[in-house]
Amino acid sequence: MDVAARFAALIETLCGAVAARGAKGAFGAANGALVVLLWSRLRRAVRRFAILAAGAPPPRRRASRPRHRAARTPAVALPRRAAWLLAPVPEASAVAGRLRDLLETPEARALIASEPRAGRLLRPLCRALGLRLPACLRLPPRSRPAVAPAKARAAAPTTATPRPAPAPRLSPRRPVRPGPLHTRAPPVPS
């Protein structure tokens, strides 16, 4: 069985578990929307992974679009914390183990090494399942700009103008919500 077929079988199992648990209300208040979003993203990942495994052509450059359009805010978004899928879908832990085994195969490593887009599909899935990223999926550390030594910074003339003092805050950081602790009883007439 090739890598794409094994990945499809894994995701099919996960989609079934997500649908079953979602029908029971495991995802909370935004149950229906979150289940549909998760299920569609998983199915899309299967299609994209199969295309990449079959030898997809390199991506085309998109024409630049003007950035003046209003940004759309999705009604519901998938959580981003690590291992978030394990609590509502306990069956996901078995899928995580099978995915870890799949990522350790030489075929999967070769595919990920030759096709960086496969890593972009697999990293969020590994994070959602609580898997530690294998070496083939880890990104190189980001380079930070070099900082001048303290002596060189002190000797360099500063041309920047000093920042003005921040304006005092007129409102508290958190609004006070009226409730039983914050309301006062009216004075008793004597």
For residue 17 the two structure tokens come to 């578990």
pLDDT of residue 11: 92
pTM: 0.66
Cα-based distances in Å from 82 to 30, 99, 167: 19, 16, 39
CA distance 84 to 151: 47
**Dihedrals phi, psi of 10, to nearest 5 degrees:** -60, -50
Query: Residues 21, 88: contact at Cβ < 8 Å?
Result: yes
Cα-based distances in Å from 54 to 25, 42, 49, 154: 37, 19, 9, 58
Query: Residues 148, 155: contact at Cβ < 8 Å?
Result: no
CA distance 25 to 21: 7
pLDDT digits (tens, 9 = 90+) for 106-164: 998 988 888 888 888 899 999 999 998 888 888 888 887 776 666 655 666 666 677 77
Q: How many CB atoms lie within 10 A of CB 66?
A: 5
